[in-house]
């Protein structure tokens, strides 16, 4: 069989991020002949978590699978979504018996299967997580490209670039693409590792970039200057669709990778 083209979209922050995807993804997906789209949407609902309505907006725009992260539990509807919507993944390395799944196989129309894995880092992140390295080693005993799936994508939702890089190295040769989310800043280090795995430390944010990581400056600045219950608000403005595009060969190895930045106020790359 031929190879495939996969797009990973970084953290969607509120309405500007959802709107950017709705405006840019359909045409971009057709232009690049993209087979599968994965999107981290843990900030899609007003900056905090996800709801069925915000998920539907992303599906309607062409997103196939949604990954989450440290804001997984911010919305009350999420528990039902994790039980009922097989397109939504939460981090694999939550403690045992946590609702939902941390990875799944998804079929393509031609019968090939793509595995999507959602991991969360532990460095500078929330407490109570299992080790993402041990969770990865356990999973890859039975799941890697060519064994159990035709392609495999790992979303590493983590703060530290060092942790992301080490997890990517662990998956090198076993995953098609390892791409990071969470920091809301697109990095300039997209590359193919020695074993044929595409890697990008952070795909960036789908949201308004004249902001504090997609949030309005005023409440974000107030959080630095004083104590108290100060709720962040999504910044209003034109959103940018940011992500990572990877082309794979018939063996599921990455042959081409590039950063995607379309719309909004930052330098374009498409």
**How confident is the model over 26-64, as pLDDT tens digits?**
999 999 999 999 999 999 999 999 999 999 999 999 999
- Angle, helix 132-140 to helix 161-171, in steps of 10 degrees: 10
Beta bridge partners of 66: 39, 88
26/150 Cα distance (integer angstroms): 24
Residue 270 falls inside a structural domain: no
Q: What's the structural domain count of the chain?
A: 1
Catalytic residue among 71, 157, 182, 184: 71
Residue 114, pLDDT above cutoff 90: yes
25/151 Cα distance (integer angstroms): 21
Residue 41 falls inside a structural domain: yes
Residue 26 falls inside a structural domain: yes
**19 and 236 Cβ atoms separated by less than 8 Å:** no
DSSP-derived 3-state class of residue 168 = helix
Mean pLDDT computed over 152-166: 98
State the distance between the two ends of the chain, measured CA to CA, in whole angstroms. 27
Residue 84 falls inside a structural domain: yes
| Closest C-alpha to 118, from 98, 109, 127, 110 | 98
Residue 213, pLDDT above cutoff 70: yes
pLDDT band per the 50, 70, 90 thresholds, residue 270: confident
Residue 207 falls inside a structural domain: yes
Residue 116 falls inside a structural domain: yes
Mean pLDDT computed over 109-137: 95
Cα angle 30-34-36, degrees, rounded to a multiple of 5: 130
Query: Six-digit token pair at 8?
Result: 């990973």
151/196 Cα distance (integer angstroms): 12
Cα angle 104-109-112, degrees, rounded to a multiple of 5: 55
Residue 269 falls inside a structural domain: no
According to the model, what pLDDT value does residue 22 have? Answer: 98
According to the model, what pLDDT value does residue 126 have? Answer: 85
In this structure, the number of other CB atoms found within 10 A of the CB of residue 146 comes to: 12
Residue 167 domain boundaries: 4-262
According to the model, what pLDDT value does residue 205 have? Answer: 98
Mean pLDDT computed over 69-96: 96
244/186 Cα distance (integer angstroms): 9
According to the model, what pLDDT value does residue 1 have? Answer: 58
Residue 157, pLDDT above cutoff 80: yes
Q: pLDDT tens-digit profile of 231-253? A: 999 999 999 999 999 999 999 99
User: Is 184 a known active-site residue?
Assistant: no
Mean pLDDT of the chain: 97
- Angle, helix 14-32 to helix 52-61, in steps of 10 degrees: 30
CATH number, domain with residue 198: 3.60.21.10
Percent of the chain with pLDDT over 90: 97
Alpha-carbon dihedral sign for residues 25, 30, 34, 36:
positive
According to the model, what pLDDT value does residue 2 have? Answer: 82
Mean pLDDT computed over 106-134: 95
According to the model, what pLDDT value does residue 121 have? Answer: 97
Burial category of 225 from C-beta neighbours within 10 Å (exposed 0-12, middle 13-18, buried 19 and up): exposed
Residue 268 falls inside a structural domain: no
């Amino acid at each position: 069989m031929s190879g495939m083209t996969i797009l990973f979209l970084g953290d969607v922050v509120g309405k500007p991020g959802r709107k950017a995807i709705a405006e840019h993804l359909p045409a971009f997906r057709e232009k690049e002949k993209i087979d599968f789209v994965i999107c981290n949407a843990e900030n899609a609902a007003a900056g905090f978590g996800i709801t069925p309505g915000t998920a539907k907006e992303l599906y309607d725009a062409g997103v196939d699978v949604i990954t989450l992260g440290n804001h997984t539990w911010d919305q009350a509807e999420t528990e039902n979504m994790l039980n009922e919507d097989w397109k939504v993944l939460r981090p694999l390395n939550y403690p045992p018996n946590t609702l939902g799944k941390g990875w799944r196989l998804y079929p393509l129309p031609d019968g090939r299967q793509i595995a999507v894995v959602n991991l969360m880092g532990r460095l500078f992140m929330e407490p109570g997580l299992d080790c993402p390295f041990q969770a990865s080693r356990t999973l890859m005993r039975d799941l890697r490209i060519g064994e159990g799936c035709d392609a495999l994508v790992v979303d590493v939702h983590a703060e530290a670039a060092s942790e992301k890089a080490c997890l990517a190295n662990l998956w090198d040769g076993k995953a098609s693409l390892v791409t990071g989310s969470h920091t809301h800043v697109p990095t300039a280090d997209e590359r193919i590792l020695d074993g044929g795995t595409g890697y990008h430390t952070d795909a960036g944010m789908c949201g308004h970039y004249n902001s504090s990581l997609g949030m309005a400056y005023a409440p974000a600045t107030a959080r630095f200057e004083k104590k108290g219950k100060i709720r962040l608000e999504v910044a209003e403005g034109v959103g940018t669709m940011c992500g990572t595009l990877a082309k794979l060969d018939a063996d599921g190895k990455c042959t081409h990778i590039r950063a995607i930045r379309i719309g909004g106020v930052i330098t374009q790359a498409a």
